[in-house]
Amino acid sequence: MDVIIYHKPACETSRNTLAMIRNAGVEPHIIEYLKCPPTRLLLAQLLVRAGLTVRQVLREKDTPFHDLGLGDPALSDDALLSAIGAHPILMNRPLVVTPEGVRLCRPSEQVLDLLPPQRGQFIKEDGERVIDDQGRRVATA
């Protein structure tokens, strides 16, 4: 299975998502999007495939979102894509692409719907058990 993850190594959610991909027996193509951001056209296409708007992929925390006035509802998608192009940190992550679809994997468990079955238990970095010993999802409270 061909999988691409737009990844930020310093992000716990992104690391957990990458680990779940690998726990499914898949070694993905890892694109560190801050070093190699998707082109404007590619990002627009990925968002369409994911069923997301540009606003839904914008990240506010630890970004220039507020300084750039990106909360203004009058801003067009074109303007928002330009902002992401100039400041890739504005793109929320991880974005995962598989033959099953494209998804912004927040929370990281969102990736499970795009992958083959998990090959064993998976526990997130924070200690939350997501997959049991038989590779089945653990019910959440």
pLDDT at 139: 75
Q: Which of 3, 7, 10, 11 is an active site residue? A: 11
**Cα–Cα dist 17/5, whole Å:** 9
Respond yes or no: is residue 11 known to be catalytic: yes
Determine the distance from the C-alpha atom of residue 27 to the mean position of all C-alpha atoms in its chain, rounded to a whole number. Answer: 16
Q: What is the pLDDT of residues 35-45, one digit of tens each?
A: 999 999 999 99
Q: What's the whole-model pTM score?
A: 0.94
Q: State the pairing for strand pair 101-104/95-98.
A: antiparallel
Q: What is the pLDDT of residues 16-35, one digit of tens each?
A: 999 999 999 999 999 999 99
Token match 């495939």: residue? 49
Neighbours of 36 (CB within 10 A): 9
pLDDT at 71: 96
pLDDT at 11: 97
Q: Mean pLDDT for the chain?
A: 96
pLDDT along the chain (141 residues), means of 10: 97 98 98 96 97 97 97 97 97 97 97 96 96 88 56
Q: Residue 47 in contact with residue 57, Cβ under 8 Å?
A: yes
Domains, the chain: 4-131 (3.40.30.10)
